[in-house]
Chain A
Amino acid sequence: MAEPLLSASGLCFEAGGGRLIDGVDLAIRPGARVAVMGANGAGKSLLLRLLHGLIRPSAGEILWRGRPPGREARQAQAMVFQRPVLLRRSVRANLRFALAARGAGRADRIARAEQALVRARLDRLAQRPARLLSAGEQQRLAVARALACAPRLLFLDEPTASLDPASALAVEALIRDAHADGVAIVLVTHDAGQARRLGDELVFLDAGRVAETGALPGALEAPRSEAARAWVEGRLHTGPAR
């Protein structure tokens, strides 16, 4: 089995006197497609931020290819947020900015930005102010910007949560293309259908703990844990006592 790109062991995060992430162990291998699911407040987005290095864990260890994450890990990862964070610039300038931040040279960033525009079918909107795009176009731009940086691991935090089905499918197509190019995906989603379409492995969180893991789609069809079963059946689950 290939060496994990990213591994977490005993990962904990505490805030406000509570333990929001509690002893999570996880390994993401090259080309993996991991769907992170769970009820609201289960810690999905927090886990993503911890794995991506946006927040420091209270305890536990994260390793990038067996070593503490450094510049190489940052360069090899990208993240798309639920609400796309777009700069007050044109579509094209948003792409070029991200590439400049990653240290791409001028000619390289011009070429890669144009490729990303075409890939996301945003080339006709290249000169438009990014914040005037529709919600679906904005999220496509956010995904295109992340992919333009050529990550090996892409984190996606509910990237289609507020999109209509057509826009969601367009975003999913970009994610599928990225995976076909070898990019590992960690996707937070509430949508079981999307988890089945885009995920190969499930990580189900309940109150900050991993309640269930398994291969998709089977793990969603016959969940072993009460938390995942309740979620699949649409029942309210109060979760374990913290």
Chain B
Amino acid sequence: MDGFWGALARAVGLILAWDAELIEIIGLSLRVTLSAVAAACLIGLPLGAAVGAFRFPGRIAATVALNALMGLPPVVVGLMVYLTLSASGPLGVLGLLYTPAAMIVAQTVLVAPIVAALTRQVVEELDREYAEQFASLGLGPLGRVRALLWDARYALLTVALAGFGRATAEVGAVMIVGGNIDHATRVMTTAIALETSKGNLELALALGVVLIAIAVAVTGTVMTLRASAVRMAYG
């Protein structure tokens, strides 16, 4: 236990000292994760809303597919993105492999189905409530999706939060497509795995503490926003 507490104390020291390596890793992690969540929301929100709001042939199959894709194994996604971006792959010419961009792509592939599936659920429920009013007003399909997304905005924050949770904790896919290269593609999760295997527990623990702190801060902010929206009957 002494080893643990000693390592934890040194980890806190690293954080307080604003260690350059630590900051670099945290910065890249946030950049990759937030970019991936933003891209996943751009894809997943309208896709989920369309599946949730419209009736079309194959809708049940689309719903099942979205739900199934929520459980995509990260290493499989990593492998697929690796094969796509590798020199002999269809997008190899872009030269993205082992760059933060490749990590963003991999995390987007992982998170977009989560955002889409949860959005479908939220929007479908809201659409059941609004459908007749929208039909009475003669609202077109685009207007309907826009209105549903806007009115579900606070519930969708929680959806984005679920995506953020998945992305920020993910290690397998970014390890495969990013390569965990020092000063290039090393993020918190891959660094924790590496530093632990090297026995450098201070840095691993410091990163773990920061990772948890970020998760708590983001979750706390979203929950506060959501609670205030519910109080105002906007949630």
Of residues 126 through 170 on chain A, the ones whose CB sits less than 8 Å from some CB of chain B are 129-132, 149
Closest approach, in angstroms, between the C-beta of A123 and any C-beta of chain B? 20
Chain B residues positioned under 8 Å from A149 (CB to CB): 137
Q: Are A88 and B151 in contact (CB under 8 A)?
A: yes
Chain A residues positioned under 8 Å from B136 (CB to CB): 52, 54, 77-79
Closest approach, in angstroms, between the C-beta of B82 and any C-beta of chain A? 43
A85 in the interface, Cβ–Cβ < 8 Å? Answer: yes
Instruction: Count A interface residues, CB 8 Å.
Output: 25
Decide: A89 near B137, CB < 8 A? Known: A129-B232, A129-B234, A132-B233. no
Q: Are A102 and B137 in contact (CB under 8 A)?
A: yes
How many residues of B sit at the interface, in one of the four size bands? 10 to 19
Q: Are B133 and A81 in contact (CB under 8 A)?
A: yes
Q: Are A54 and B135 in contact (CB under 8 A)?
A: yes
Of residues 135 through 154 on chain B, the ones whose CB sits less than 8 Å from some CB of chain A are 135-139, 143, 147, 151
Counting residue pairs across A and B whose Cβ atoms lie within 8 Å, the total is: 47
CA distance A54 to B233 in the complex (A): 27
B132 in the interface, Cβ–Cβ < 8 Å? Answer: yes
Q: Are A75 and B234 in contact (CB under 8 A)?
A: no
Q: Are B130 and A75 in contact (CB under 8 A)?
A: no
Which residue on chain A has the smallest CB distance to residue B136?
A: A79
A26 in the interface, Cβ–Cβ < 8 Å? Answer: no
Decide: A101 near B132, CB < 8 A? Known: A88-B233, A88-B234, A129-B234. no
Q: Are A101 and B130 in contact (CB under 8 A)?
A: no
A87 in the interface, Cβ–Cβ < 8 Å? Answer: yes
Q: Are B132 and A87 in contact (CB under 8 A)?
A: no
Which residue on chain A has the smallest CB distance to residue B229?
A: A88
B235 in the interface, Cβ–Cβ < 8 Å? Answer: yes
Q: Are B132 and A97 in contact (CB under 8 A)?
A: no
Q: Are A131 and B137 in contact (CB under 8 A)?
A: no
CA distance A131 to B132 in the complex (A): 18
CA distance A129 to B151 in the complex (A): 12
Decide: A101 near B138, CB < 8 A? Known: A88-B234, A129-B233, A131-B233. yes
Q: Mark B147-185, 1 if CB is under 8 A from A, else 0.
A: 100010000000000000000000000000000000000
B129 in the interface, Cβ–Cβ < 8 Å? Answer: yes
CA distance A100 to B139 in the complex (A): 9
Chain B residues positioned under 8 Å from A71 (CB to CB): 138
CA distance A115 to B105 in the complex (A): 51
Chain A residues positioned under 8 Å from B233 (CB to CB): 88, 129-132
Of the residues A75, A77, A87, A102, contact of B151 by C-beta under 8 Å: A87
Q: Which 3 A-B pairs have the closest CB atoms?
A: A131-B233, A85-B133, A74-B138
B residues near A (Cβ < 8 Å) are: 129-130, 132-139, 143, 147, 151, 232-235
Task: Given A54-B136, A87-B147, output 6 extra A-B contacts at Cβ < 8 Å.
Answer: A85-B133, A88-B235, A101-B137, A101-B138, A129-B233, A130-B233
A residues near B (Cβ < 8 Å) are: 49, 52-54, 71, 74-75, 77-79, 81, 85, 87-89, 97-98, 100-102, 129-132, 149
User: Can you give 7 contacting A-B residue pairs, CB < 8 Å?
Assistant: A49-B132, A53-B135, A75-B138, A78-B136, A81-B133, A85-B133, A102-B137
